[in-house]
Amino acid sequence: MSNNTFRIFTDSGCDLSPALLAKWGIICESLKFRFDDSEQEYANGDMPTSDFYQKMRDGGVAKTAAVNSEEFSLAFEKVLAEGLDVLYIGFSSGISNTFNAGRIAARELQEKYPDRQVIATDSLCASAGEGLLVYLAYKKAAEGASIDEVAKFVEDTRLHICHWFTVDDLVYLKRGGRVSPTTALVGNILAIKPIMHVDNAGKLIKIATAHGRKKAIAALAQHYTDSAVTPTEGHVFISHADCEADAALLAKMLKDKHGVDVEIITDVGPVIGAHSGPGTLALFYVGNER
């Protein structure tokens, strides 16, 4: 337990392992996914990520579904019934409807349990950016901060969580309408890799391009140099979609230039990977601004 008066909830948009979240005492609700050729629905951890991305490489198209408000209500109420308060830190509302479902559940349960606090906070973050914010909230709670203090900390910190992404194949962004078919075709032929980030509205947007994978990875490292609050220390997370060697290369670049150790390297889970594809690589840290 991170705090003996309230529990922190999050969702699988944070791309942190269930074991790690359990270690921190954080309860996680999972988004779902399925492939077009099957009606079978999976939670984020039900399929090994390597199998998921291989199926995508083989042409499989994955569809995702948000956590619904009933699922949140059941999970929140178990904690409220124990006499504890609830703080839910959710997947960016600019990307998923999951946070809104959590907010609805929180509002309804607040009426049912007027003596308890049920707070839902939009992280405006995604993948291990959401995970980093949740981790920082956990640390704050472990120091003895109240639920109100932790919720305020999340709101004050979320727009300083920097997200920098690159993808290996533009076809997946094309499917989601984030790049045009022509851009995807020409970009793949010329090995043009987009550099993307999550903006202040919590939406994934394209910022620049790089010619070739290694230059794209170097561009992520350069953004860290340009905007990290404390480049030689601080918490740095990396997530990757079945490209572990590239994640290790990015970590080495940061270590060589700044002496900083990447704290967590995690998988881009199926719910996010369904839209960005295998080969997605992302860097997260606390910056002066996004």
- Nearest CA to 127 out of 155, 159, 164, 97 is that of 164
Residue 53: the pLDDT is 97
Listed in sequence order, the DSSP H helices in the chain are: 18-23, 49-57, 69-81, 98-112, 127-142, 147-157, 171-175, 181-189, 213-227, 244-258, 270-276
Residue 189: the pLDDT is 67
Long-range contact pairs involving 71-75 (C-beta distance under 8 Å, separation at least 24): 71/29, 71/101, 72/9, 72/29, 72/101, 72/102, 72/104, 72/105, 72/106, 73/105, 73/108, 73/109, 75/9, 75/27, 75/29
Per-residue pLDDT band for 233 (boundaries 50, 70, 90) equals confident
Residue 23: the pLDDT is 96
Residue 66: the pLDDT is 96
pLDDT digits (tens, 9 = 90+) for 142-185: 999 999 999 999 999 999 999 999 998 777 776 766 666 666 55
- As a whole number, mean pLDDT of residues 190-203 equals 86
**Cα 273 from Cα 54, distance rounded (Å):** 12
Which residues fall within 8 angstroms of residue 40, CB to CB, at 6 or more apart?
Answer: 34
Q: What is the Cα 10 distance to its own chain's centre? A: 10
Q: Which residues pair with 65 in a beta bridge?
A: 32
- As a whole number, mean pLDDT of residues 58-78 equals 96
21 three-class SS: helix
Question: Residue 236 belongs to what H/E stretch?
Answer: strand 236-240
157: amino acid identity, one letter: T
Average pLDDT, the chain: 93
Residue 222: the pLDDT is 96
pLDDT digits (tens, 9 = 90+) for 102-123: 999 999 999 999 999 999 999 9
- Reading the block at residue 16, the tokens are 């942190």
Residue 57: the pLDDT is 94
149 three-class SS: helix
Residue 1: the pLDDT is 45
Domains in the chain (CATH in brackets) are 6-37+43-51+63-158 (3.40.50.10440), 160-286 (3.30.1180.10)
Q: DSSP for 33-54?
A: EEETT----EETTSS-HHHHHH
